[in-house]
């Protein structure tokens, strides 16, 4: 990283710090929130999800956007990166785009479907929807983890 302009250092710090918040949120959802929601009776689980979603939507998307944009901005400054750093950052960006696509294409529609269930449909429809939702979360979290690992590797 020697000889890099200060802006590249700043972008790396922003990328890694906001990526840590994003990935930490993914871990928290995987090990705490999803198990709690799925362990409750369907009606209670749906209510918990309805309560938690607005809280997470306050900060997780913004942290993800800042993290991803900081990584992509580093690519725009490719002349200031070593070949290895460029490749690691690019690989992280590709995985990040896959994670975001998984989030918008699969995870969020499942989340909306669960939260939008009519009260009389919750008992029958929530359990299979929650299984799919949890699987989609595991997939997207894996892509975010791999992207973050590459970004941290580039920053070291």
Tell me the per-residue pLDDT of 43-61, one tens digit each, with 9 for 90 and over.
Answer: 999 999 999 888 888 899 9
Rounded Cα distance between 27 and 33, Å, is 9
Q: Where are the domains of the chain?
A: 6-155
C-alpha distances in Å from residue 53, one per residue of 11, 126, 130: 29, 16, 14
User: What pLDDT score was predicted for residue 56?
Assistant: 87
Measured CA to CA in angstroms, residue 97 lies from 58, 114, 135 at distances of 21, 25, 18
- Spatial distance between the Cα atoms of 147 and 134, rounded to a whole number of angstroms: 20
At 50 the pLDDT is: 94
What's the rounded Cα separation, in Å, for the pair 117 and 47? 11
In the predicted model, residues of the chain with pLDDT beneath 70 are 1-4
Q: What pLDDT is attached to residue 136?
A: 97
Chain segment 106-127, per-residue pLDDT in tens? 999 999 999 999 999 999 999 9
E strands within the chain?
A: none
């Amino acid at each position: 990283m020697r000889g890099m302009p200060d802006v590249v250092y700043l972008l790396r710090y922003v990328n890694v710090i906001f990526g840590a918040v994003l990935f930490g949120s993914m871990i928290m959802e995987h090990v705490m929130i999803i198990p709690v929601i799925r362990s409750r009776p369907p009606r209670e689980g749906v209510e918990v999800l309805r309560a938690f979603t607005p809280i997470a939507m306050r900060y997780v998307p913004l942290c993800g956007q800042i993290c991803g944009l900081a990584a992509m901005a580093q690519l725009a400054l490719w002349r200031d990166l070593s070949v290895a750093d460029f490749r690691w950052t690019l690989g992280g960006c590709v995985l990040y785009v896959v994670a975001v696509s998984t989030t918008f294409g699969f995870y969020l529609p499942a989340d909306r479907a669960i939260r939008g269930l009519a009260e009389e449909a919750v008992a029958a429809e929530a359990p299979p929807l929650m299984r799919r939702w949890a699987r989609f979360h595991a997939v997207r979290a894996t892509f975010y983890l791999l992207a973050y690992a590459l970004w941290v590797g580039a920053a070291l």
